[in-house]
Amino acid sequence: MPHKMTLTGSATGPLREYDRYVAFDMREKGSPSAPKGLKKSTFISYTVFVAKKAFNKTGLTKKSIMHEKILIQGEPTLDIPIDECPGEIGIICFQITVLPNKNDKEANESKDKKEAQKEVSKAQQEVAATKQEEKQEPEVKEAKTVEPEVKEPPVPEKKAVQPKRQQPTQPKGTQDIVSFDEIIVPEAFLKTRPNPVKTKEVVEFVKRTGHLDKPLTIDKETKILKDGYRRYIVAKTVNMDKVPVIYEYQKQED
């Protein structure tokens, strides 16, 4: 079985275009410590080869690839000519993913907090206005005491309506909600086909309840799917934008 590799980082050199694929270089730091008696490694350089069709789907350009953080999944190769592979190791890329920018994520969170604060302030203003109206009501009643009193038939009291029990919006054990497009599916899952009968049962459950029966299990850093491929297929089938997840150390049975 070929050795699988995963790289994260940005391109360290310009994008090179060929007939049916593109190539660029990446680096990863070596281990900070080595066994006694051996030299420490500083970094390893890689040359990544990606099919043009897969690269174009990422939205990356010759300029942006130097600044965006990307994740590469593939296998090493020794069959590329040396003039096309300046890196120490060549990587045939099976999947390339642009990872979310930390600054953009923090900016969105800050925007959400500001909007929430505005909503709270608006609600407080409405409460204050209601209290002010209640204070003014006795004055109005006193001004109308000169009118003859008209007795009205008693109005039967309405029984308080018991609030309906709110159904859960996510399955039990959910730790986080992530975008469906962020999840990376390993090649080992893509080669399998979940039981269609069980898959149909989960689809019917989602249509009935509005959420999956269990969360997916993913790696917190790389967003790589670790468990729950059937539920991933169901989420894709019903066009879910976001899915419930737990992280690898809270793994559940499928």
Q: 244 is written with which tokens? A: 């419930």
Helix then strand then coil, % of the chain, to nearest 5:
35, 25, 45
Query: Three-state SS for 227?
Result: strand
pLDDT in tens, 192-201: 888 989 989 9
Q: Which residue has the higher pLDDT, 140 or 62?
A: 62
Answer for the pair 173, 250: CB distance below 8 angstroms, yes or no: yes
Terminal CA-CA length for the chain: 26
- Backbone torsion region of residue 210, taken as left when φ is above 0, otherwise alpha when ψ lies between -120 and 50, otherwise beta: left
Q: Which CATH number fits domain 5-29+41-102: 2.40.50.1040, 3.40.50.300, 3.40.630.10, 2.60.120.260?
A: 2.40.50.1040
pTM over 0.85: no
CATH of domain 176-249: 3.90.1530.10
Spell out the domain ranges in the chain. 5-29+41-102, 176-249
pLDDT in tens, 78-100: 888 878 888 888 999 999 999 88
